[in-house]
Amino acid sequence: MKFWILIFISISLLAQTPEGSAKKAYLANINTLLVFTSESGLSSGHYRFTKSDFKMQSYSLPFRHHFKPLDSKMNWFANGGVGYSITRLDTQTRVSRSGTDIDLRHDNKLQTYTAGLGGGLRYKSEMGVDFSGGMGLIYSRVGTSVKPEDDIGDAIKDFFDSQYNDNITYKLFISAEYKKEIEGFKPYGKIDLKSYETKADFTFDVLAGFTTQSDVATFSVGSETPSLMKYEENYLSLEGYIKFNYLHGDITDVVRFKKYINMGVLAYWNTPDFPSWARRFYAEVSTVRAEGLEGYNIAMGFSLEL
Per-residue pLDDT tens over the stretch 5-37:
333 333 333 334 445 555 555 655 666 667 766
pLDDT of residue 48: 77
Q: Over 70: is that where the pLDDT of 297 sits? A: yes
Does 1 map to a domain?
A: no
Specify the long-range contacts of residues 201-206, CB closer than 8 Å, at least 24 apart: 201/165, 201/166, 201/167, 201/168, 202/165, 203/163, 203/165, 204/159, 204/163, 206/19, 206/159
Question: Which of 40 and 240 is assigned the larger pLDDT?
Answer: 240
Domain count, the chain: 1
pLDDT of residue 16: 45
pLDDT (tens digit per residue) in 39-73: 566 788 888 767 666 677 888 888 888 888 888 89
Element (H, E) at 25: helix 18-36
Q: Over 70: is that where the pLDDT of 95 sits? A: no
Question: Which of 94 and 111 is assigned the larger pLDDT?
Answer: 111
Does 32 map to a domain?
A: yes
Does 149 map to a domain?
A: yes
Question: Which of 272 and 89 is assigned the larger pLDDT?
Answer: 272
**Domain residue limits at 64:** 9-303
Does 288 map to a domain?
A: yes
Does 2 map to a domain?
A: no
Q: What is the CATH number of the domain that holds 182?
A: 2.40.128.130
Identify any residues that bridge with 62 across adjacent strands, giving them in sequence order.
81
- Cβ proximity of 39 and 132 under 8 Å: no
Does 3 map to a domain?
A: no
Does 4 map to a domain?
A: no
Mean pLDDT of the chain: 77
Confidence of residue 99 (pLDDT cuts 50, 70, 90): low
Best-predicted range by mean pLDDT among 7-16, 60-69, 241-250, 261-270? 261-270
Best-predicted range by mean pLDDT among 1-5, 49-53, 81-85, 105-109? 81-85
Q: What is the mean pLDDT of residues 136-140?
A: 89
Does 23 map to a domain?
A: yes
CB atoms within 10 A of CB 230: 10
Q: Over 70: is that where the pLDDT of 244 sits? A: yes
- Cβ proximity of 281 and 271 under 8 Å: yes
Question: Which of 205 and 41 is assigned the larger pLDDT?
Answer: 41
pLDDT of residue 208: 44
CA–CA dist 25, 196 (Å, integer): 17
